[in-house]
Structures are given as structure tokens and as C-alpha cells.
Structure 1
Amino acid sequence: MTVEVVRDDDPRCAELEAAGYQLVGESWAARLRDPDPSILEQVVLRAAGVTVRELDRSSAVAWHELETANEKDYPYTPATHRVVQPVDELAELWTTGRVFGAFDGERLVGATYISLQDDPPRGETGFTSVLDGYRGRGIGQAVKAASILALAADGVRVFGTGGAALNEASLGANLALGYVIEERWRSYAAPPW
């Protein structure tokens, strides 16, 4: 299946629709500039019943188990599809970024991955996930807030994130952290003929 991913303000959207292309997904990209540490600290503290902290490679297996359990719940769009890497590849992400997690006792129940991008300089969230049964408690928002606080302490002032439009919980959590949507994208599938 041929898919075209186009910004929603691009005139090609109308052209593709007129040519019979079908909308098969929508996604968004957002930025957070000069985050307010006091807001982020409160978000971390509100995640009741869990401990939020930065993870090291010794958590790779637990992180892989969390991601594997959540893989079926990641919303699918052609622009945002997530496939969980094998544990050794997931562990390699520590060479390009940092991982923050939330623990209920010894159990990892939420995590986020953030990397530092150069052009333009920013902290970019790769993905965030929370174990089913722990969702809706601010845990995803808390691990993301912890990651932003850590990079901001190192001088980072701009942060990026994105996701599938149908994941309203993720969108709402990011907007509450101060992210502003700067781009919306549409994924179109070519007509079957």
C-alpha cells in the first residue's frame, strides 16, 4: 500500500483527496519552549503511588517487558507506528538518549525515552508508555516531565514530541505540560486501482 504523509496545510491534501486517496491516519508534532520547572515538578509529584526516576541500562529487560506489554496498545498510523525492538536494540537507545521510568514497588509501570537533537537543538521524546491498569493516573505525564526537567537542567530549552491524533490522552497530557501543536499531518493511502 502506497501512503503519502502530508502536512494538513499542504495544498496536496485536496489534490490527493480529489484523486481518490483515502485518509488513513492523522498525527501531530508539538514543541515546548522554556518550560516552567515548577509546573513540571508538580506533575512529577502528583503521580501518586509510584516512584519516578532516571533509568540506566540495568533496567533494559524491565523496559523491554513494559514496551512488549504495551505494543498492542500503541495507536497505529502510517506516520506513528511503533514496533518494539529486541531488548539489545532497546538497550542501545541509552547511547543516544535518556530513559525515565515510574515504579510501583519494583515493577516498572511507565517509561519515556528522550534524545538530544542537534538541528535545531532540542530534546525529542521518542515514545512514552504506561502499563494498562496504571493509565489515567498521570504516570506518562510524570515520566515525561522528569525527562524535560533533566534536560532543562543541562541547558536544553526546546522540546519536541508528537503522536497519533486518535490518542487523545497523550495529546491532552502533552498540552497540559505546555506543549503547543505546531504541525498536523495526514496520511493518505493510494486508491486500490
Structure 2
Amino acid sequence: MLLETHVLQDTDPDLPALLADGFEVVGESWGAEFVIDGGAESTASLERLRGFVETARAAGLEIRELDARDAAAIESLDAESWVDVPTTPATVHVPVSALDVRDWATRGRRAFGALDGDRLVGLCVGAAGDNDFVVVAPDQRGRGIGGAVVAAWMLGAIEAGERSFSAGGALQNARSLAMIRAVGFRVTERWLSLQRP
């Protein structure tokens, strides 16, 4: 049986009526933004981004842009990393296949990864300034890898002329939200997923 689902911002004027009609909140998500405007604050933001990458490199990780040759490693890391990541009706991750990865460049998607020796342990994927997803190997979390790959992806996009970035995720994923804030994103939206019980 399919459940009727509504996903709307917490400021949506339809929210009170849906709640009064018996819908319940079954998930919360956030949206965040990051803007480089050329001022002093932007200079500090760029230094912070470079710092994330430099710290990871100083810890022995290789941080670099990934391509089709990394497709099998990307597919494997993606499969291993989403087992314990919270999702909501609004924040569902579609598993990545090696075939998908080989098509990313033609769709404007870029991926930056962290490698510990030959093992891919972190990944950030996005198109232009829109962050698609970030994953870190479960046994490698807490090392700053997520921040490093997000920062590397952003620096690559800034080099290509991008000045505005967006990201989002499930509110229950506290690690992801803390990482995105540490990198410098500002949470600007809250989304609610509603279903009837």
C-alpha cells in the first residue's frame, strides 16, 4: 500500500491544515547554502576550505578529483557507506553503479575523493554548486574526511567559476549536518515529510 506523502517547508501555509487532518511528521530535512562574494569573509572561507584539505593530506590521505577509472571503488564505497545513514521520504539516496559513474562527466557531475593508500575512504559528488551527496567509509568517520572531500569539491567548483553552493540532508544525520556547518554552510531551510499513520 502506498502512503500519501507530502514534503514541504516548515513555513508552508498548508502545514497546519495537513497536521489537523491527521498527517504526522515522519522525517525532517535541511537545506543549506554557501556563497563566495569576494569580500573578507569569503577570503576566510577559502582559507578554511584549503585547511580541511591540507589537514587531511597531512594525515596521509590523498585528496584528488576522481574519474571513470575510479568507478568500481566509488560503487563499492557508496554501497558500504549508506547502510546506517538516516533517510526520509525527501532524502533518499539512489545507490551508485560503476555505469552511473562513467556517465557523470557528461552530466556535469564532478567527484572528489580521499584515498588511504589504494582504498577510497571518502567521496563528495556534485554538479556546478549543487552538492549531491557525501559518503565516508564507516570505519573512517571522525577523521575529517567528509569535510576534506567537500572542501576539495568546492575548491574545484570555485576554480571553475562557481560562487554559490547548496547542500541538504536528513536532520537525523547529525554527522552530516555538523560537517556541512563546519565547512561553512549556513542552514537556510527546514523541510518536513508528512504521512498519515
TM-score, scaled to structure 1: 0.92
Identity of aligned residues (%): 39
Q: What secondary structure sits across from 2:87 in the alignment?
A: coil
One-letter amino acid matched to 1:182:
T
One-letter amino acid matched to 1:187:
S
Q: Is structure 2 residue 183 aligned with structure 1 residue 171?
A: no
2:53 corresponds to: 44
Superposed counterparts of 1:97-116, under 5 Å: 97-116=109-128
Q: What secondary structure sits across from 1:100 in the alignment?
A: strand
Q: Is structure 2 residue 5 aligned with structure 1 residue 3?
A: yes
Contact 2:67 2:102 in 1 (8 A): no
Q: What secondary structure sits across from 1:73 in the alignment?
A: coil
| Aligned match for 1:93, one of 101, 104, 120 | 104
Q: Is structure 2 residue 134 aligned with structure 1 residue 128?
A: yes
Structure-2 separation of matches of 1:93 and 1:73: 25
One-letter amino acid matched to 1:147:
W
Q: What secondary structure sits across from 2:90 in the alignment?
A: coil
1:120 corresponds to: none
Structure-2 separation of matches of 1:72 and 1:94: 27
1:162 corresponds to: 168
For residues 15-57 of structure 1, what are the alpha-carbon distances to aligned partners after superposition, in whole Å with 9 as ceiling and x for unaligned?
Answer: 1111110111000111100052211000111222311110111
Q: Is structure 2 residue 78 aligned with structure 1 residue 76?
A: no
1:15 corresponds to: 17
Cα deviation for residue 71 of structure 1 reads 2.5
The alignment's C-alpha RMSD in Å is: 1.2
Structure-2 separation of matches of 1:52 and 1:184: 32
One-letter amino acid matched to 1:150:
G
Cα deviation for residue 11 of structure 1 reads 2.2
| Aligned match for 1:58, one of 55, 62, 69 | 69
Q: 5+ unaligned residues in a row in structure 1: which ranges? A: 117-122
1:24 corresponds to: 26
Cα deviation for residue 72 of structure 1 reads 1.4
